[in-house]
Structure 1
Amino acid sequence: MSNAKQILAMLRSQAEGDEEQFFSIALQVAAGEARQGHRATAEEIRAAVDAARSQRGTRASVPIAFSRPRGDLDNLLDLREPQIRLADAVLNRSVKDHLETVVVQQRRRDWLREHGKTPSRRLLFAGPPGSGKTMTAEALAGELHLPLFVIRLESLITRFMGETAAKLRLVFDEAQKRRGVYLFDEFDAVGSNRLATNDVAEMRRVLNSFLQFMEETSATDSVLVAATNHPSLLDRALLRRFDEVLQFEMPSADEVRAIIKAHLSPMKYPKINWKTVVAAAACLSQAEIVHAAEEAVKAAILSERNQISTADLTRELRKRQAMRTVFSEEQGHIG
């Protein structure tokens, strides 16, 4: 990119309030200076960027909303401004380690490019419903100070030949132009095995298009997250396209405790019998446990109490267990 184009790109990013893109272009300039042997100038630019980034979190400012998709993309992308960061998410150690690696590479992506490398940006989240996949995508976007775009599958997938692939092209083109985290939830609707007996030629073409789009280089290094509850349904060719595959599990005893504590504000909980509470939460997903904790808090507020008891939590957790039983019985009748 020439200096004139870099200046124009920096001005556009500043006008749009996209500080991270502004810093990214500045680091590209630094990389160019370094390649020309101007190491001192490159280091000065990098130091200035690091200083600006460190001050960004401390200075008073008015937050600028991310610009929303327009035109055909308005029906394809659901913009969500992240409200949480990775520190707010309760995740197992393996998932956290993978995500920390992705975050470091994304933050230093221009330094990697200076050495001919690209950051990890294609992630597959696999795990049971409610295990925190969508929440983690939001937390990752928040950690990187990027918008989260959720692809609307009901608008993406159509019965008309070639239309779904064309819409996919629009989504990937947008990811090339606008840096963000792009989430394909319920990804098995797009990435199912091409040899599946119930497959149709059109969906095979869609998957082939998706595989081709994933292979394309990205100037923005937008993060692509595909989330699935049924990884066994995915086409095996997808696995080598992803930089990281993260396996989400049902929460452990320690994670149950951490999830509940994180959602009991503004209540106090001085005498909780955690062994009883964890037992009541057995087999529940992270989402179900969050709902139970929040319902316990609401009940306490309406009862004009400022404390949560073991009975409050176990009552709500058992309600969630009962909901599971009802759903299982209904599924049995349908089958």
Structure 2
Amino acid sequence: MQEESSQRQEAVKRLTEEQIQRERRQSERERAELERETLRVKALAEAEGRALERRQNEDVYRRELLTKMELERERLLAAINTTFRQIGAGVYGLLGDREKLTRTVIVTTALAAGVYSTREGARVVGRYLERVLGQPSLVRESSRATFPFLWRRGAHSNAGLLASNPATDAMRKGEGFGDVILHPALLSRVRSLASATANTKKHGAPFRNMVFYGPPGTGKTMAAKQLARDSGLDYALMTGGDVGPLGPDAVTKIHQLFDWAGKSRKGLLLFIDEADAFLKERNAVSMSENLRSALNALLYRTGDQSRDIVLVVATNRPEDLDRAVVDRVDEALEFPLPGEQEREKLIRLYLDKYVMRAGEDSRSSWRKLLRGGSDKIEVRGITDDLLQEAASKTEGFSGRELAKLMVSMQGAAYGSQKSELTPELFQEVLTYKVAEHAQRKKIVEQHQSALAAPAGS
């Protein structure tokens, strides 16, 4: 009996201890939940306080701006009134003197005739120079200058800029490709093609045509330009969307483009962005006869391998390209969205370019002089951990979106009172842009679902 009583007491004791432990754990959970709620309420209160402070500052700035605008308006009205009074006095005096009025009419007529003749003559000469020497209207950008002395000046200026560019220094060390940050495998492939193209040019062999495909903003255009530079070629950029509006003139413009490109002494890389806009499948119902004729003209000019022109077409939809265009392609390179390591490198590159080096451009010297000070941004507390966190949070961002992110950082810094970028401001802009990216992605997915719905029904 005594042993059973001891066992019951032990059991009751264990139950009591377990109950006490459960109540203690429950109390700890409730305390932790209360602390979390307190922190959340405190964070919301701080955020509301910062928002209220910003609104108050904006109100003060708006009132000051309105006061300045009113003063400027009054000054401008006074100047206009003074000017018109002087003009009125001059016209009154002129009308009162018949001889002076006659001379004024003769001189004004002669001056108008001279201006008109000069303008029309310049227009005719300009058309002739453009037709004989200038670049075709389809070319949006080119490294090939029309006049040699302009080319020498531009080359000298670019050399100076490249010499001080950290991206170029990284490229020389084998860590980059100009301002292009690519996946290591893709970077190796592009460098190999640049070397092969340079050797092809050296030995006078036919060039190889290429297609760059992948999401927008992944560095296709920049890679093509850098490939041309490393190969010793000129480059010219055009976009497929410019061909459609030309209508029946598109065929003539395509032939003019290839005639001009073939005259480059160094050889020329012709880059066609958004190529699927006019190089899509010819059997497509939506393709007009003018676009189909323009495509046939391009196919005619690229039927044989060229020793003068490297054709590089870029598209986000390679499956839409005409089969004859694909048949003319020798190399196909996919440009995917940057991975986390590439995103961190891009963030560092654009942070240096748009934030840390803001205000160093010599072209802004007049703006600095008028403002009476420097427009440099002071960067405080932006650590490696913060940049790594930004690279992790920006999954799915393209290189162009990361550049825009740093431009937003620049704008936010200039919008602050001291033109400085702090970790708090960095996080605020990053959070906003990540949310904006997610919303844009959702809209695109909904649009694609809406387009696919009729086909699936």
For normalisation by structure 2, the TM-score amounts to 0.50
**CA RMSD after TM alignment:** 3.2
After TM superposition, the structure 1 = structure 2 runs for residues 291-306 of structure 1, keeping only pairs within 5 Å, are 291-300=404-413, 303=416, 304=418
- Given the alignment, which residue of 328, 332, 338 partners 1:251? 338
Q: Which residue of the partner structure matches residue 287 of structure 1?
A: 400
Q: Does the alignment pair 1:207 with 2:295?
A: yes
Cα distance per residue 1:278-307 (max 9 Å; x no partner): 232021211001111232245346644776
The verdict on how the C-alpha distance between 1:310 and 1:257 changes in structure 2, with shifts beyond 3 A counting, is farther
Does structure 2 conserve the Cα–Cα contact (< 8 Å) formed by 1:176 and 1:218? no
Q: Which residue of the partner structure matches residue 195 of structure 1?
A: 283
Q: Percent identity?
A: 23
CA distance in 1, matches of 2:279, 2:247: 18
CA distance in 1, matches of 2:390, 2:441: 23
- Given the alignment, which residue of 302, 305, 322 partners 2:436? 322
Which of the two has higher C-alpha Rg? 2
CA distance in 1, matches of 2:226, 2:239: 19
Q: Which residue of the partner structure matches residue 170 of structure 1?
A: 256
Cα distance per residue 1:14-53 (max 9 Å; x no partner): xxxxxxxxxxxxxxxxxxxxxxxxxxxxxxxxxxxxxxxx
Q: Which structure carries more helix by proportion?
A: 2
Give 3-state SS (helix, strand or coil) of 1:142's partner.
helix
- Which residue type is aligned with residue 221 of structure 2? T
- Given the alignment, which residue of 187, 203, 208 partners 1:96? 187
Does structure 2 conserve the Cα–Cα contact (< 8 Å) formed by 1:112 and 1:118? no
Cα distance per residue 1:182-228 (max 9 Å; x no partner): 221110012101222323344333223222212234343x3322111
- Could you tell me how far 1:128 is from its partner in structure 2? 0.9
- Given the alignment, which residue of 189, 211, 225 partners 2:312? 225
- Given the alignment, which residue of 343, 348, 351 partners 1:261? 348
- Could you tell me how far 1:230 is from its partner in structure 2? 1.2
Give 3-state SS (helix, strand or coil) of 1:284's partner.
coil
CA distance in 2, matches of 1:281, 1:191: 33
- Given the alignment, which residue of 278, 288, 302 partners 2:391? 278
Structure 1: 5+ residue runs without aligned partners? 1-68
Does structure 1 conserve the Cα–Cα contact (< 8 Å) formed by 2:236 and 2:268? yes
Does structure 2 conserve the Cα–Cα contact (< 8 Å) formed by 1:112 and 1:119? no
- Could you tell me how far 1:107 is from its partner in structure 2? 2.0
Q: Does the alignment pair 1:239 with 2:353?
A: no
- Could you tell me how far 1:94 is from its partner in structure 2? 3.3
Decide which moves more: 323-332 or 131-140: 323-332
The verdict on how the C-alpha distance between 1:291 and 1:283 changes in structure 2, with shifts beyond 3 A counting, is same
- Given the alignment, which residue of 137, 156, 160 partners 2:243? 156
CA distance in 1, matches of 2:413, 2:436: 21
CA distance in 1, matches of 2:431, 2:198: 39
CA distance in 2, matches of 1:239, 1:319: 37
Does structure 1 conserve the Cα–Cα contact (< 8 Å) formed by 2:240 and 2:276? no
- Could you tell me how far 1:158 is from its partner in structure 2? 3.9
Greater RCO (Cα-Cα under 8 Å, separation 6 or more): 1
- Could you tell me how far 1:111 is from its partner in structure 2? 4.3
Structure 2: 5+ residue runs without aligned partners? 1-128, 144-157, 169-176, 357-378, 451-457
- Which residue type is aligned with residue 334 of structure 2? Q
Give 3-state SS (helix, strand or coil) of 2:312's partner.
strand
CA distance in 2, matches of 1:325, 1:245: 32
Does structure 1 conserve the Cα–Cα contact (< 8 Å) formed by 2:274 and 2:315? yes
